[in-house]
Structure 1
Amino acid sequence: MVRLEVPGSWGTPDPEQLFEAFNSWVEARGITLYPAQEDAILELAAGNHVIMATPTGSGKSMVALAAHFFALARGERTVYTAPIKALVSEKFFSLVEVFGPEKVGMVTGDSAVNAQAPIICCTAEILANEALRDGADADLGPVVMDEFHFYADPHRGWAWQVPLIELRGRSGAQSPVQFLLMSATLGDTSKFERNIAERTGRDVVVVSSAQRPVPLDFEYSTTALVDKLEELAGKQLAPVYVVHFSQRAAAEQASGLMSLNLLTKAERELLGERLKNFRFAKGYGQTLSRLLKSGVGVHHAGMLPKYRRLVEQLAQEGLLKVISGTDTLGVGINVPIRTVLMTGLSKFDGSRVRQLNAREFHQIAGRAGRAGFDTEGTVVVQAPEHVIENEAAARKLAAKHSGDETKLAQALKSKPKKKPPEGFVSWSEKTFEKLIGAEPEPMVSRMRVTYAMVLHLLNRPEDPVRAMRRLITSSDETPARQAQLQRRALEILRELLAAGVLEKLDEPDEDGRTVDLKLDLQDDFALNQPLAPFAVAALELLDPESETYALDVISVIESILDTPYQVTGAQVKKLKSERLAELKADGVDYTERMRILDELTHPQPLAELLEQQFEVYRTAAPWVGDYELEPKSVVRDMVERAFTFIDAVNFYGLARSEGVLLRYLTDAYRTLRQTVPTGKVSDELEDLTEWLGEVIRQTDSSLLEEWERLAAGDDPEKLAELAQKHDNDDAAAPPTGITGNERAFSVLVRNGMFRRAELFQQEKEEALAALEREHNPDSVWASADQWGDALDAFFDEYEDVYVDAKARSAELFRVNKNPADKPGFWHVVQVFDDDQANHDWGIHAWVDLAASDEAEAAVISVHHVGELRP
């Protein structure tokens, strides 16, 4: 891409000069600005705020580029914000391509790169925190707030409102901040126009356009979904994005579409060639591979990132005809489509099932139609399924009794109609038509007050009590809600005073402060993992000599991470299933069984200890009350069960939530690396951390590689290389051999051997044989009878074999990495911790290194189970 450079000889550029320079760069790329784009860019050049409320596909990103360019030309610092980290990261890399790596930085909740750059990409919360800390003194010029309709988000809307209030002019002077607020579904913006102009002393201009660059055609369908998709494909209206409102529905629907005849022979061959070098892992990867080869994609947040990216790339290349996904389409995912087909007009919003509102409908519908490719986009909404089935039955009867109105009327009357499922929230063609013409609902204020907000305000050269009162009374909340927020702010202030975090001054200081901070907060307060300081303090409670020390450290770290509810929910489901079988076998009556099952939760190691310590810690650091401690066991569970990633997915039935598990494991790895002090890292913990990193890399390295690249710092050459690297090269690149990281591979082998010891202790000969059959189907140990004989021999001599932390210790695992008689193999022995502590029995096996690299897993072949051999 041609770089957008700022001439060094400009001095102070005038608006016309700014516009002409930017427009020349646009034209050099063969692009002509739309009228709405030109209007918005001229207003930005003139120094006005711009609210850009134009349809999807109208080029709002180009206007944002102009805002950043103008800032560079004026010597100002500029910020781009978005609602989610993925969009922030995507914008960061695209801006690096346009302006160069030295001019662009990124700050999110857990990553920072080139943070002193003149252009910063960040989440809305990061900008809100800066606005709270610096207020009118913030060193900012243009502030681009993308997807601004998130102002009305119940959980995060406060972060979109705070900058509008706090980045104001000082003492009647004009504010240096210039806002560009962008969304296709803003609705009535009059309150923003009025308030922003009043606070900043700059004019606010609304740029809107009812005319979409690619107009939309709307259709209500009573045809069965599969038939409708074939019809759309036949009319050359593909690619079609089929919108569902749950990941389960998206995945299940996709599997039912493989029978569709969507591709020509040439297209199938091209798609097969494109996928030839892509690495599909076990689990959902095998299903996705079959779907893609039939021209059907799947796209939702539960997928591995590499799979979502592949689907986006194939869609961009025109190789997919149908993509079955979720309504995340409305948050700007990069899937160019011609037709949006909504499977319904109602969704579960976390608390209840309700009809879509106008904003949600238009956000999704607006993605139809590809600028530069389509002359028209198509939006199809399916009638409720029971309505479609009833209409199909009516058409069948009409054909059967054609010409005989009496018989037809009788048949229709006697034919029972299918009813909607219980609790179903219905919609109709009238609902659809109403939504098409409806304006987006007014955006509701979502202000809140937290400990962190109070502490950020303490950085101001003014009284934080007065600053908080002004923030609340300037918000768009009702008077009653403002009164509630003020009471909450006072509660927080009193608690901070009581805890000794703040002290009340006898008289105001030179800045007018009536309270002052007594503690030194870390420089990156509220930017990184908020409970990380607690985790460091909690590590002091652990005994480094304990056999479970490394696992306990992992449990401390897991307690401060966000809970992956799909994973913990699957754990509870599995526990209940196993416990139910036990209770039934024990003859426990139904009522008691249900009571016991209702009390089951996901595993929570160290929960009591950590929760007690958290309450103690909170007395000295009240701000942690903004967050919840969440003890859980995901990483630890994988270690204790000796699971690989695929083992965990299969055991808990997480095929549709692989991406959720991977993101959690990546967060755990990052936090282990960033948070645990060097002095607290034992050899075993280092081994487990290396193993976890390798599990992530072998599953999908994209999340981890992005973090590691960002963590590498501000090296412009590395950033330039990153910006130039093509996504296809990433997808097709051969993986690093799993044996390349010997330390991590050793843990993988140890886990594999210990898993066999656990199954041996549980006397599960069939499961042991199945492990052997996975890589060595011809081995004698692929027979359950062979394992049964070994079990009989062991338990004739011993009562039990232990599988606790001591049994997992390095002393009971032996490895020879250079056997003279078998190069390219390791010889390993898992010694049994028998009840007499003789340690003279175990499992002997060979580990094939070359086969392990090929299989991307430890290929272990058992050759002896019994008394130890020299």
Structure 2
Amino acid sequence: MISRDEIILDYLERLAYAPYPVQEEALYAWAASEQGVLLSAPTGTGKTLVAEAAVYEGLRTGKSVYYSTPLIALTDQKLIELQDTVERWGYERDTVGLVTGHRTVNPNAPIKVVVAEVLLNRLLHPEAYDFANVGAVVMDEFHNFNEPQRGIVWELALSLLPAHVRVMLLSATVGAASEFVNWMARSLDRRVTLVEGRERKVPLHFHWVGDELLPDFVESIARGEDTRRRTPLLIFCFDREICWVTADVLKGRDVFVEGQRKALLDRLESFDFSVGSGNKLRTFLTRGIGIHHAGLLPRYRRVVEMLFQEKLLPVCVCTETLAAGINLPARSVILTTLVKGPRDKKKLIDPSAAQQMFGRAGRPQFDTEGHVFAMAHEDDVKLFRWKEKYDSIPEDTKDPGLMKAKKALLKKKPTRRANFTYWNADQFTKLQTAPPARLASKGRLTWRWLGFLLEANPAVEPIRQVIRRRLMDLPTIEGEIKRLTRMLVTLSHMGVVLLDPPPPKSWLDAIKPAGSSAGAAAVDPADAAAPPDDDEDDAEPSTAASPTSTTDLLGRLKLGEHVGATVAAATAKAAGKNAPAFTEPYDVITATPTPRLKDLMVFRAVHPLYGLFLMDYLAKAEDHELVQILESLLEMPGSVAKSLRVPWPDDLPPGRLALEVVDPAILTRGLAAHEDLYPPSDQSDLPPEMRKYPVPLAQKVRMLFESEIDHAGGLFITPVWGIGDLLNHGGDFDKFVRSRDLLKQEGIFFKHVLRMILLCEEFAQLTPKDVNRDEWQTRLRSIAAVLTTACRTVDPQSTDEILEELVDQI
């Protein structure tokens, strides 16, 4: 049998160019390590070359390999890259496959490219997926372990991997990596070799630009011979609207190299820009300026990506999400600001996000160096230029003309704006030198994960042990343990589980909500954005777990070193954030599922408790009420939601559900007065701060839910009237976005509609009480059919692709 050393040497001979030191070190470590490697190195250091060694080894030894990534976009990209690579090695392209929930490419291929959730789902179902012939698992972008919403997926997958499967963990630079490796050895009994790199193959040069405005500066760095020119260039903005504004101020500038514009114009003829914002985008593209953000239809984002990758587009204005996803190779990047956030609460950007953007500069095999530019605010540029002129006149001048000129300049001194957050060169330096973040357990136990674990084994103590072994500090661990008990009592209150011993009265009283209000309730940030475990753990059709095959699951979940008996001492001061004050100790021994648990587990795209609650109310919902409630469950950015406000009752009258069920319940419980729910439409005699607005139906239903159920944070709704209005437009997507002035946000609404399609399918799996199942399903699927046609009309390729992607995510 060929040795791993021989395989790596053979692999090295196949490379088109010699690896640089950190790559070579990682390759030899992979050959020598029995259990795996953690490679921590800056973005742009060629970690993919190291990952492909694991793929090559699998092909040479006849072992299967899983290549997992955190994003669908990266998964699709890796599929194509690896197919190209294995073909270059002399293997068939179909030796590489892709597996998702509703899309498969060569699913039985030995090399499987998957999102992290697919890998975890298979590990959770050992009776259905055999890992005996799996030789290695590559976890790309492993620094996502730190993500509050997604990190637990990586954590669980690592814990459940069989001992014989070697791991290759590829990460951007992380802090205290040796501590993490030690934690893996202690907690997971997995000893991996750490390889750390600090230097990039293409070094970066950082430049603070305090004396030029963006249009002049971009034009200046786009000129000259290739060695002087700084394009292709990515310009990062933190707001979709600012991307359009930035592109507009650049469109009159010459950013092309010789012959590039004609080639670009010829290429543009092959694309259709007739829908939505296409004509506006095409205008910018003809000037060499691309735009890339979620507000664009996916079809147009693909055009921008192709043109940039084909080196026809010298400039792309984009949001920071591009830095963590699509690979657009650039020589330079520009940050137009160093702060982000709400208008009156802007803060310096996170160092990790900044370094991710920095890392997009400098293309291996194309550039010898990359450049990162940070622009000062235009107010500071004007102040800088003024100071240069003012200081050029000596203070002690005796020349009357110069004295007069200096005095006149002083009167014209530019000023900074009040209550505005500026940034400076020192902060730019701080972002460059900030230490990388440490890896830590941040994902929380969610309702779906808890349901799955209880279905496998109703014993609660093993779940507590899982929590105690996580890579967290003691107060956080104990807060999570208390939150676990709180969640179990809520599930008992809803009839989802039977607790032994039953909860004492103090705990039942403690979880009774104090009431609700018409305003938005506080949302726990850890759960506010639909945790991946609630919406992504079934990345392919789930195989039902039988008790006999999964009762040992908790024993396999070694999620951290056991902290021992000292944990108990910390219990009293570890009440979780927003947790109620419980008056007596209570430890659940078992939580035995009832048939309602299976109903709870149906809900993946929404808060499961809320989904279950809604099924008791939707029987009387008229069509417009049903659409309002379901649409409110989908996240919607405020910039789009403000254009989709729910109409006043005069224009959208309340239906049976509101008048016969919801309103009476709210009034009876004293949650609001009638004048709060239905204020007069004419309030012109009142000052703006005293005017009231009707409470949307979706918010009313949430008020009822929160008056009954302690949901432990995480319920997020956005009452809007977009889907309903689109249906009123006959499903004409283009006509709708034009009527609502959403051309610059059409990509956001496009994905919103696709999520609604899947949400209808999700709610069709259960039936409200006293409703005919066939009629209920027909009602929901009729809505979904109109919406599907609406999306396919404007972007057929993306409609099918994104529906598949969203299924994977829920």
Give the stretch that moved more between structures: 323-332 or 562-571.
562-571
TM-aligned CA distance change 1:292 to 1:473, over 3 Å: same
Q: What residue in structure 2 maps to residue 189 of structure 1?
A: 177
Deviation larger for 624-633 or 643-652:
624-633
Aligned pairs (5 A) from 1:383-462: 383-397=376-390, 407=402, 410-411=406-407, 414-458=410-454
Alpha-carbon offset, residue 229 of structure 1: 0.7
Amino acid paired to 1:595: M
Quickly say closer, same or farther: Cα 1:464–1:90, change in 2 above 3 A: farther
2:205 is aligned with 1:211:
no
Q: TM-score, normalised by structure 2?
A: 0.72
Describe the superposition over 1:396-416 as per-residue Cα deviations: whole angstroms up to 9, x where unpaired: 456788996984794497245
Q: Percent identity?
A: 27
Is the partner of 2:259 in helix, strand or coil? Answer: helix
Partner of 1:468: 463
User: 118-127 vs 227-236, which deviates more?
Assistant: 118-127
Q: 1:610 to 1:531 in 2, by over 3 A?
A: same
Q: Is residue 604–residue 632 contact of structure 1 (8 Å, CA) maintained in 2?
A: no
AA aligned to 2:644 is Q
**What's 2:290 paired with?**
297
CA distance in 1, matches of 2:476, 2:359: 34
1:57 aligned onto 2:57: no
Q: State the SS of the aligned residue for 2:371.
A: strand
SS at structure 2 position matched to 1:256: helix
Residue 664 of structure 1: aligned partner: 752
Matched, 1:488 2:483: yes
Alignment partner of 1:148 is 2:142? yes
**d(CA) in 1 for partners of 2:594, 2:328:** 51
1:697 corresponds to: 792
Matched length:
674
Name the CA distance, whole Å, in 2 between partners of 1:202 and 1:400: 69
- 1:604/1:516 Cα in 2 relative to 1: closer, same or farther (>3 Å)? closer
1:393 Cα shift?
Answer: 2.3
Kindly provide the CA deviation profile for residues 65-122 of structure 1, in whole angstroms up to 9, marking residues without a partner as x.
33344356556554444333332343345445556456523336x8677777655544
| TM-aligned CA deviation for residue 257 of structure 1 | 0.6
| Structure 1 residue 557, shift from structure 2 partner | 4.6
Q: Which residue pairs with 2:512 in the alignment?
A: none
- The structural deviation recorded for 1:668 is 2.1
CA distance in structure 1 between the partners assigned to 2:806 and 2:284 by the alignment: 36
Change (3 A) 1:566 1:73: farther
* Superposition CA RMSD, Å: 4.4
**Residue pairs, 1:555-704, within 5 angstroms:** 555=628, 557-563=630-636, 565-572=638-645, 588-591=684-687, 593-596=688-691, 599=693, 604=697, 632-642=720-730, 644-672=732-760, 676=764, 679-680=774-775, 689-704=784-799
Matches of 2:358 and 2:593 in 1, distance apart?
A: 50
How many angstroms apart in 2 are the aligned matches of 1:356 and 1:204?
A: 33
Match of 2:243 among 236, 240, 250: 250
Deviations for 1:255-301, whole angstroms, at most 9, x for unmatched residues? 11111022357322211111113111344222211110001111112
Q: Against the structure 1 CA distance between its residues 150 and 522, is the aligned structure 2 distance closer, same or farther, given a 3 Å change threshold?
A: same
- Give the C-alpha shift of residue 503 in structure 1: 4.5
Is 1:36 the counterpart of 2:32? The answer is no
The 1:564–1:219 alpha-carbon spacing in structure 2 relative to 1, beyond 3 Å, is closer
Match of 2:317 in 1: 324
Shift of 1:485: 0.7
Q: Sort the Cα spacing of 1:473 and 1:168 in 2 relative to 1 into closer, same or farther, 3 A.
A: farther
Q: CA deviation at 1:374?
A: 1.0
Contact 2:646/2:720 (8 A) holds in 1: no
The answer to whether the 8 A contact 2:635-2:717 is kept is no
On the 8 A contact 2:236/2:320 being kept in 1, the answer is yes
Q: Distance in 2 between matches of 1:273 and 1:608?
A: 55
Q: Aligned pair in 2 of structure 1 residues 96, 540: CA closer, same or farther (>3 Å)?
A: farther
- Residue deviations 1:699-723, cap 9 Å, x none? 222322325778999xxxxxxxxxx
The residue type paired with residue 699 of structure 1 is V
Displacement, 1:232? Answer: 0.6
**1:312 maps to 2:294:** no
Q: Whole-Å Cα distance in 1 between the matches of residues 752 and 398 of structure 2?
A: 63
1:410-444 deviations in whole A, cap 9, x for unaligned?
44972454333334333322222333333324345
- Choose from 5, 19, 32 the match for 2:8: 19
Task: Determine the C-alpha separation between the residues in 2 that align with 1:355 and 1:609.
Answer: 38
* Distance across 1 between alignment mates of 2:807 and 2:427: 52
Query: What is the rounded CA distance, in whole Å, between the counterparts of 2:48 and 2:259 in structure 1?
Result: 36
Instruction: Measure the CA separation in 1 of the matches of 2:345 and 2:122.
Output: 35
Deviation at 1:194, TM superposition (A): 0.4
Deviations 1:727-776 (A, max 9, x none): xxxxxxxxxxxxxxxxxxxxxxxxxxxxxxxxxxxxxxxxxxxxxxxxxx
Using a 3 Å threshold, how does the CA distance of structure 1 residues 324 and 448 change in structure 2: closer, same or farther?
same
Instruction: Please show how residues 728-747 of structure 1 align to structure 2 within 5 Å.
Output: none
Q: Greater shift after overlay, 201-210 or 319-328?
A: 201-210
Q: Which residue of 1 aligns with 2:218?
A: 229
Distance 1:452 1:573, change over 3 A: closer
Q: Distance in 2 between matches of 1:269 and 1:571?
A: 41
Shift, 1:42, TM fit: 2.9
Which of 263, 268, 293 is residue 261 of structure 2 equivalent to? 268
Q: Is the 8 A contact 2:233 2:334 kept in 1?
A: yes
1:78–1:557 CA distance, 2 compared to 1 (3 A): farther
Conserved? CA contact 2:149–2:443, under 8 Å: no
Instruction: Flag structure 1 segments of 5+ consecutive residues without an equivalent.
Output: 1-11, 170-174, 714-870
Q: Distance in 1 between matches of 2:153 and 2:727?
A: 38
Task: Report if aligned partners of 1:298, 1:325 keep a CA contact under 8 Å in 2.
Answer: yes
SS at match of 1:243: strand
CA 1:556–1:101: 2 relative to 1, 3 Å: farther
Residue-by-residue CA offset, 1:145-204 (whole Å, 9 max, x unaligned): 33233333343333343444x3377xxxxx234332222231221221101123344432
With CA pairs under 8 Å and 6+ residues apart, which has the higher RCO, 1 or 2?
2
CA contact 1:381–1:432 (8 Å) conserved in 2: yes
What is the Cα deviation at residue 368 of structure 1?
Answer: 0.4
Secondary structure of the residue aligned to 1:571 is coil
Residues in 2 aligned to 1:289 and 1:193: alpha-carbon distance in whole angstroms: 50
Deviation at 1:358, TM superposition (A): 3.0
CA contact (8 A) 2:7 2:57 kept: yes
Paired letter, 2:143? H
d(CA) in 2 for partners of 1:417 and 1:356? 30
Q: Which amino acid aligns with 1:478?
A: D
CA distance in 1, matches of 2:136, 2:491: 35
Question: Paired residue for 2:801?
Answer: 706
Alignment of 1:57-206 (within 5 A): 57-71=44-58, 78-95=65-82, 100-101=93-94, 103-107=96-100, 119-125=111-117, 127=119, 139=131, 142-164=136-158, 166-167=159-160, 175-206=163-194
Describe the shift of the 1:404–1:528 C-alpha distance in structure 2 as closer, same or farther (beyond 3 A).
same
* Residues 720-735 of structure 1 aligned to structure 2 (within 5 Å): none
- 1:207/1:611 Cα in 2 relative to 1: closer, same or farther (>3 Å)? same
CA distance in 2, matches of 1:674, 1:632: 20
Q: Quick one: structure 1 residues 527 and 543, their matched pair in 2 at CA, closer, same or farther if it must change by over 3 Å?
A: closer
* Shift in Å, 1:50: 1.7
Name the CA shift for 1:119/1:626 in 2 (closer, same or farther; >3 Å). Answer: farther
